[in-house]
Chain A
Amino acid sequence: MIAIGILLCAVNGRIEAALTALTAGADRSIELLLALAGSYLLWMGLVNVAERAGLTERLAKFMRKPLRMLMPGIGDAAAPVALNLSANFLGLANAATPFGIEAAKRLAAHNGRKSTASKELCMFLALNASAVELLPTSVIAVRAACGSADPYSIVLPTFISSLFASAAAIAACKFFEAYKG
């Protein structure tokens, strides 16, 4: 991907832009990490408190059956997966990412071939892409800022179409599981 980008920069006569973009991208990783770090520490701390109190186990037990249908080998990742999906649903992006990281780590740990994604992890990644959200707050904010008469008019169609998207993600994963092994 980097090679294609550099070649295209050269073709477009913008070779000096290549290095700028690469550096800017790497800079973004530090920014992103700092942005993530605080809430990651906070939520991982709180999750550990919940775990000690036996709460995550209850949630995991409750969610295990429906999640098993999607990800048979979910194991101890059921709790973070459930927390990630519910945080996404409520539109809490800051909380969703730490849970998602934890879920991805546990799903990968279950898998022997460590650097290749298991089918459970693929399902989780694909489900995250469809983002079923109760209130798409950022879009509503932008619509209100642009002077919409009814910024909330898109809530229902957005919700329904993200359900379609989730269904497509599940179907696509099941299809690939069957035909790519």
Chain B
Amino acid sequence: MNYAVPIAVAALLLFAAVKKVDCYAAFAEGASEALPTLIKLLPNLAAMLAAIAIFRASGAADLLARLFAPLLGFIGIPSELAGLLILRPFSGSGALAMLTDLLHEHGTDSFIGLAASVCVGSTETIFYTLTVYCAAAGIRKARYAPAAALLSGLVGAVSGIALIRIMF
């Protein structure tokens, strides 16, 4: 696994050389096309990340967690995991920190520990990916993409917890 990517890159460069492609020029050309995108990305990122930061710092995220805990319980998600699931779409490192807490508190191979691991593994930092990709593409209205993404995350978490119940 550790070898796969470097070898693929080497194979790509060798293949291109055999095809008589000027690798250095092609690389430089592609990389220079990346620059304008990066510049355009920055202002959008600043606005959206500031919004996400204040959403968490103001306690709005916690409030959301408390509001949704009963609802999540209703669809089979234990209340211990409510905070984790609310945080997960906003912050990958935050979710990993919370997972560490849960694993220490309940044990790595307990039901809560296993369920929390699966929930973190099978979902994404949805708002982060949405922010980066929309900012790069200059999209202001993501329409139903956030709703579909959140629903898919919820399905991932619920089915993950159900699988843990069945398998262990």
Contacts and interface: CB of A to CB of B under 8 A. Distances in A.
A16 B41 CA distance: 28
Interface in A153-181: 153-154, 156-162, 164-169, 172-173, 176, 180
Given A8-B58, A25-B54, A172-B152, 13 more contacts: A1-B54, A21-B58, A30-B46, A44-B30, A95-B5, A108-B138, A114-B138, A130-B123, A130-B124, A143-B117, A157-B118, A161-B163, A173-B144
B120 A139 contact: yes
A147 B120 CA distance: 18
A169 B26 contact: no
Contacts of A100: 129, 132-133
Given A121-B139, A139-B117, A169 B148 contact: yes
B5 to A, nearest CB: 7
B53 interface: yes
B134 interface: yes
Give the interface SS of chain B, mostly helix, strand, loop or mixed. helix
Interface of B: 1, 4-5, 9, 12-13, 15-16, 19, 21-23, 26-31, 33-35, 37-38, 41-42, 45-46, 49-60, 63, 92, 96, 99-100, 103-104, 108-109, 113-114, 117-118, 120-124, 126, 129-130, 132-134, 136-145, 147-157, 159-160, 163-164, 167-168
26 contacts: A5-B55, A9-B57, A21-B54, A25-B53, A26-B50, A32-B132, A37-B38, A40-B34, A44-B34, A46-B9, A50-B12, A100-B133, A105-B137, A116-B143, A121-B139, A125-B133, A125-B145, A130-B123, A138-B96, A142-B96, A143-B113, A143-B117, A156-B167, A161-B160, A168-B151, A176-B148
Contact of A160 (B137, B163, B168): B163
A156 B163 CA distance: 9
B156 A104 contact: no
Contacts of B122: 130-131, 136, 158-159, 161-162, 165
A51 B22 CA distance: 12
A49 B147 contact: no
A146 interface: yes
A126 interface: yes
Instruction: Give the residue among B4, B52, B145, B168 with the most A Cβ atoms within 10 A.
Output: B145
Contacts of A42: 31
B121 A136 contact: yes
